[in-house]
Amino acid sequence: MNRQRKEKILVTIELPGMSQEVVEVSLSKDILTIKREKKTIEEEAEERAFYLERTFGSFNRSVACP
């Protein structure tokens, strides 16, 4: 007799400064992956100066699930 076990796993993560809309969560072959890529460009212009800051980076964690 083949019985499938239905188990639930609750995963809670804290990612300060990130909204859940920009975080990608996937499950593939019992590997849970959480990632985000940050691409931000800030510009400020004044009468005689121009300021530009670019922030790029990524976050990626993978965990094996039982």
Tell me the DSSP string of 3-65.
-------------TT--GGG-EEEEETTEEEEEEEEEEEEEEE-SS-EEEEEEEEEEEEEEE-
CA distance 66 to 46: 56
Output the pLDDT for position 23.
Answer: 85
pTM for the whole structure:
0.57
Task: Determine the pLDDT at residue 4.
Answer: 65
Strands 24-28 and 50-64: unpaired
User: With contact defined as beta carbons under 8 Å apart, do 65 and 55 qualify?
Assistant: no
What local confidence, expressed as pLDDT, does residue 8 receive? 78
Per-residue pLDDT tens over the stretch 2-54:
566 677 778 888 877 777 778 888 988 889 999 887 777 777 777 777 777 77
